[in-house]
A and B are shown apart, each in its own frame.
Chain A
Amino acid sequence: MPPPLQPLTEIWVYLATTPLLGLTLTLVAYQLGYWVYARGGMNPLLNPVLLAVAALVALLLATGTSYTTYFEGAQFVHFLLGPAVVALAVPLHQQLPKMRRLFVPIVGGLVAGSLTAVVSALALAWALGASKVTLLSLVPKSITAPIAMGIAEKIGGIPALTAVLVVATGIIGAALGKFVFDALGIADYRVRGFALGIAAHGIGTARAFQVDAEAGAFAGLAFGLHGALAAFLFPAIYIALRHFM
Chain B
Amino acid sequence: MLAGVTWLLVYQCIGEILVRWTGLPVPGPVIGMVLLFATLATRQAVPESLQTAASGLLSHLSLLFVPAGVGVMLHFQRVASEWLPIAVALVVSTVLALAVTALAMRHLLARQDRRDADVGGP
B37–A93 touching, CB < 8 Å: yes
Q: Does A42 contact B (CB under 8 A)?
A: no
Q: A71 to B71, alpha carbons, bound, how many Å?
A: 9
- A130 and B86 within 8 A (CB): yes
B: number of interface residues (CB 8 Å): 72
Chief secondary structure at chain B's binding surface: helix
- If the complex has contacts A77-B66, A131-B82, A194-B105, are A199 and B94 also in contact, measured as CB distance less than 8 A? yes
Q: Does B96 contact A (CB under 8 A)?
A: yes
* CB pair B72 A164 closer than 8 Å: yes
Question: Which residues of the partner chain A approach B69 to less than 8 Å between Cβ atoms?
Answer: 49-50, 52-53, 163-164, 167-168
Interface residues of A in 111-137 (CB under 8 A from B): 112-114, 116-118, 120-122, 124-131, 134
Classify chain A's interface size: 35 or more
B93 touches A120 (CB 8 A): yes
**Cβ of B2 to closest chain A Cβ, rounded Å:** 13
Q: Are A105 and B63 in contact (CB under 8 A)?
A: no
Q: Is the CB of B95 within 8 A of A81?
A: no
- Decide: B63 and A228 in contact? CB cutoff 8 A: no
Q: Check B93–A228 contact: CB distance below 8 A.
A: no
User: Is A138 interfacial (CB 8 A cutoff)?
Assistant: yes
Q: Please indicate the chain A residues that have their CB under 8 angstroms from the CB of B102 in the complex.
A: 109, 180-181, 184, 186, 191-192, 194-195
Interface status of A46 (Cβ within 8 A of chain B): no
Residue pair A169, B90 in contact (C-beta under 8 Å)? yes
